[in-house]
Chains A and B, each alone.
Chain A
Amino acid sequence: MRAPDLLRFARDAATGNPLRTSLLVLAMAIGVAAVVVLTALGDGARRYVINEFSSIGTNLVIVLPGRSQTGGFNPGNAITNTPRDLTIDDAQALLRASAVRRVATLAIGTSEISVGGKLREVVVAGTNAQFVDVRRLALAQGRFLADGDWRRGAAEAVIGAKIRDELFGRESALGQRVRIGDRRFRIVGVMASTGQGLGMNTDETVIVPVALAQAMFNSNTLFRVLVEANSRETIEQAKTQVTEIIKLRHEGEEDVTVITQDAVLATFDKLLGTLTLAVAGIAAISLAVAGILVMNVMLVSVTQRTAEIGLLKALGATGRTIRTAFLVEAAMLSLAGAVLGFLLGHAGAAAIRLLYPAYPAYPPDWAAIAGLGTALVTGILFGVLPARRAAQLDPVESLAKR
């Protein structure tokens, strides 16, 4: 039998029973669509987190006070639980490291900002001039904090876009005097709006010199020190140098945690990648179910078409021809289902993206290919048994069936 004839014969046989065919195609389509949509969700989550995390800067090494890594039991930990302060001097010392380009300090707290009778609770971030470069932030108006002695700093503040809107409305904020906590500041700049993100949201933050923030919160320790390495290649070197310098300054005790952005990114990447795989696996179960359905439907089809199979044999069809015809039919139905499911899945992912624009719900290429492939393989695999049964039918008995 020629290939085009075989395809046409299988197609006609499939369309000869529309209900059976459409049910089968639907089952396969749901399976493939599930794989596509679920992996789109999983991979979307991964991309979302990675994007957000990348947006806090590049080549970052982050220093946190206190040791959070798990390790062996250290007698020192048993005696003193509170870590040493991570001070402004510590941060400044990091500038000596050869692999370090910039250092930004960060002290965080909440306070109230008031101007002309308006009062609002705000997050106050104490930092230095380099912060804007390290975090790759942009200003909407004015300038950022002036570069100067980290331990003093002028009474200047940079406010977030939302705070500007709420406190000043249409008036110009630059040059205005505000009260933050019990101190007076002059506004020198307004941050560009960044929107909601995984990192710090600057829209509702007031940025002041780190020394003034520490005084406001009555604390000597920093929340974070953000260190920018010279390049991607020197990140590890910067991490070692930073650890060494702090250890030296803290009397040989390694009481800070130094993490690299890359390491965190890789962890998230791995975690969420595994999640996507797991979700794809769960979705693949529906494909196996669809495969069993293919087998069932094809077996019923063989029984229904027994007389036809007998006739084909009488007309000179070999067992192989009949087997191939049934296999082609199963493969064709699976393929139709897979393609339909692929389109449905992509439509579903597009709908998710439309509803949640921030969420990059794109199905990964491997998932789409794996979904299509699995559908085809299961369809053919589960089509083998019915096809063999058809090929082995006894022509005399088959012809006697009405």
Chain B
Amino acid sequence: MPALIELSGIERVFLLGDSEVHALHQLDLRIDAGEYVAVMGPSGSGKSTLLNLLGLLDRPNVGTYRLEGRDVTTLSPEEQARVRSERIGFVFQSFHLVPRLTAAENIALPMMLAGIAPAERNKRVEQALKDYGLTNRANHRPNELSGGQRQRVAIARATIMQPAVILADEPTGNLDRATGEEVMRLLEALNQSGVTLIIVTHDTVLGARAGRQLRMEDGELRHDSASRGTV
């Protein structure tokens, strides 16, 4: 069975003025379906770049990325958008909800972009609102919701297309301890139901909850708990 995610020889170089910055260097990584992975490291270590790359928001300069056995680095932007739509869910630190849309509309947004019929959309949104305890908040706009509620809307939105992998970038960064814990439990419950969960964080306590820890430094993978030792 092929790995869900397979990165080999990934290089990502940014030009900052005259100097080249290796945001990712010589990166090889394999993540199987259903894993719970925490990517940790200091800021500037390349963990966000890795996440963007995994989410097809960015392309590597060198190397190949196979998602479910398919090389996605060579896809056209339109095809990549389709993969993002169907296979990948994003959860952001700052929630990124559209302020003029209600909670229900925000959750329905990926389905609307994918062109799913309104009847099917309403059915799925209703279920999601129930699952995340947002039924009585369905018609509230993001500015009328608490931080925890906003992140729950965001998670509902990330899962509404039933993706294979959820990429979460500091999902609890803007939340207090209690709501952060609540959000983490939701994400972990998703993982238990079979969705691959990849979390970027610099919180070691949070990272320790994951089944597998990756530590990054200067664009390189320094530690992978799955391989027991330094790479």
* A402 in contact with B81 (CB, 8 Å): no
- The answer on a CB contact under 8 Å between B113 and A315 is yes
CA of A312 to CA of B99, assembled, Å: 13
Contact (Cβ within 8 A) A2 B86? no
B78 adjacent to A318 (CB under 8 Å): yes
**In the complex, how many angstroms separate the beta carbon of A12 from the nearest chain B beta carbon?**
6
B154 to chain A, nearest CB (A): 10
Query: Do B77 and A396 have beta carbons less than 8 Å apart?
Result: no
Contact with A along B88-122 (1 / 0, CB 8 A): 00101010101111000000011011110110000
Question: Do A316 and B81 contact each other (CB < 8 Å), given the known contacts A9-B112, A321-B113, A399-B92?
Answer: yes
Residues from chain A with a CB closer than 8 A to the CB of B117 are: 2
Q: Is A171 interfacial (CB 8 A cutoff)?
A: no
Question: Are B96 and A311 within 8 A (Cβ)?
Answer: yes
A318, B52: Cβ atoms closer than 8 Å: no
Is A313 in the interface zone, CB < 8 Å from B? yes
Chain B residues 103-153 with CB under 8 Å of chain A are 109-110, 112-115, 117-118
Task: Kindly state whether residue B82 has any CB partner on chain A within 8 Å.
Answer: yes
Render A323-360 as a binary contact track against B, CB cut-off 8 A, 1 for contact: 00000000000000000000000000000000000000
* Min distance, Cβ B82 to any Cβ of chain A, angstroms: 7
Q: Any chain B CB within 8 A of the CB of A320? A: yes
CB distance from B107 to the nearest CB of A (A): 11
Q: Residues of A within 8 Å of B, CB-based: how many?
A: 25
Beta-carbon contact of B96 and A316 below 8 Å: no
Question: A217 to chain B: closest CB distance in Å?
Answer: 83
B166 CB to nearest A CB, Å: 12
The answer to whether B77 touches A318, judged by C-beta atoms less than 8 angstroms apart, is yes
Contact present for A316 and B113 (CB under 8 Å): yes
Specify which chain A residues have a CB less than 8 angstroms from the CB of B85 in the assembled complex.
315-317
B interface, size bucket: 20 to 34
B105 to chain A, nearest CB (A): 8
Given A2-B115, A12-B101, A399-B57, does the pair A313, B81 have CB atoms closer than 8 Å? yes
The reply on A314 being an interface residue by CB < 8 A is yes
CB-contact partner of B96 in A12, A13, A396, A399, under 8 A: A399
| A307 CA to B99 CA, complexed, in Å | 11
Task: Check B100–A13 contact: CB distance below 8 A.
Answer: yes
- The reply to whether the CB of A16 lies closer than 8 angstroms to some CB of chain B is yes
Whether A319 and B90, one on each chain, are in contact in the complex, defined by CB atoms closer than 8 angstroms, is no
Interface positions, chain A 1-47, Cβ under 8 Å from B, are 1-2, 5, 9, 12-13, 16
A349: shortest Cβ distance to chain B, in Å?
A: 38
Q: With CB as the reference atom, state the residue of chain A lying closest to B57.
A: A395
Complex CA–CA separation, A316 to B83 (angstroms): 7
A/B pair count, beta carbons within 8 Å: 68
Taking a contact as CB atoms under 8 Å apart, the answer to whether A311 and B98 are in contact is yes
Taking a contact as CB atoms under 8 Å apart, the answer to whether A320 and B78 are in contact is yes
- Interface residue B181 (Cβ < 8 Å from any Cβ of A): no
Q: Which A residues are CB-close (under 8 A) to B96?
A: 307, 310-311, 314, 399
Question: Are A318 and B112 CB-contacts (below 8 A) given A12-B100, A311-B98, A399-B96?
Answer: no
Contact A16 B100 (CB under 8 A): yes
Q: Which residues of B contact A314 (CB under 8 A)?
A: 55, 57, 84, 90, 96
Tell me if B161 counts as interface (CB < 8 A to partner A). Answer: yes
Closest to B49 in A: A396
Whole-angstrom CA separation of A244 from B70 in the bound complex: 96
Q: Say yes or no for A308: interface residue by CB 8 A criterion.
A: yes
Nearest B residue to A400 via CB reads B48
Determine if B58 is an interface residue (Cβ-Cβ < 8 Å). yes
Contacts of A312 in B (CB 8 A): 109, 113
Check A1/B115 contact, CB under 8 A, given A311-B98, A316-B161, A320-B78.
yes
B interface footprint on A283-318 (CB within 8 Å = 1, 0 otherwise): 000000000000000000000000110111111111
CB closest chain-B residue, reference A305: B98
In the complex, what distance in Å separates the CA atom of A179 from the CA atom of B12?
111
The answer to whether B57 and A315 touch across the interface, beta carbons within 8 angstroms, is no
A316 & B86 in contact (Cβ 8 Å cutoff): yes
| Chain A residues within 8 Å of B215, by CB | none
B116 to chain A, nearest CB (A): 8
A313–B57 CB distance below 8 A: yes
Q: Which residues of B contact A399 (CB under 8 A)?
A: 57, 92, 96
Q: Is the CB of A317 within 8 A of B94?
A: no
B81 CB → nearest A CB, Å:
4
B47 within 8 A of A: no
Which residues of B are found within 8 Å of A9, using beta-carbon distances? 112
Contacting residues, chain A, for B98 (C-beta < 8 A): 308, 311
Hey, which chain A residues are within 8 Å of B118, CB to CB?
A: 5
- B109–A315 touching, CB < 8 Å: yes
CB contacts (< 8 Å) of A318 on chain B: these are 77-78, 81-82
How many Å lie between the Cα of A395 and that of B57 in the bound state?
6
Inter-chain CA distance A136–B181, complex, in Å, is 97
If A320-B78, A396-B52, A396-B57 touch, whether A315 touches B157 (CB-CB below 8 Å) is: yes
Partner of B78, one of A12, A308, A315, A319: A319
Assembled-state Cα–Cα distance A307/B100 (Å): 13
In the assembled complex, the CB of B133 is this many whole angstroms from the nearest CB of chain A, namely: 22
Question: A376-402 CB contact bits vs B (8 Å, 1 = yes)?
Answer: 000000000000000000011001001
11 extra A-B contacts, CB within 8 A, seeds A310-B96, A314-B84, A316-B82: A2-B112, A2-B117, A16-B99, A311-B96, A314-B96, A316-B114, A318-B78, A319-B78, A321-B81, A399-B57, A402-B94
3 nearest A-B pairs in the assembled complex, by CB-CB distance: A316-B85, A16-B100, A318-B81
Complex A-B: 28 CB contacts under 8 Å: A1-B113, A1-B115, A2-B112, A2-B117, A5-B112, A5-B118, A16-B99, A16-B100, A307-B96, A310-B96, A312-B113, A313-B57, A313-B81, A313-B84, A314-B96, A315-B84, A315-B90, A315-B109, A315-B110, A315-B157, A316-B81, A316-B84, A316-B113, A317-B81, A317-B113, A318-B82, A321-B81, A399-B57
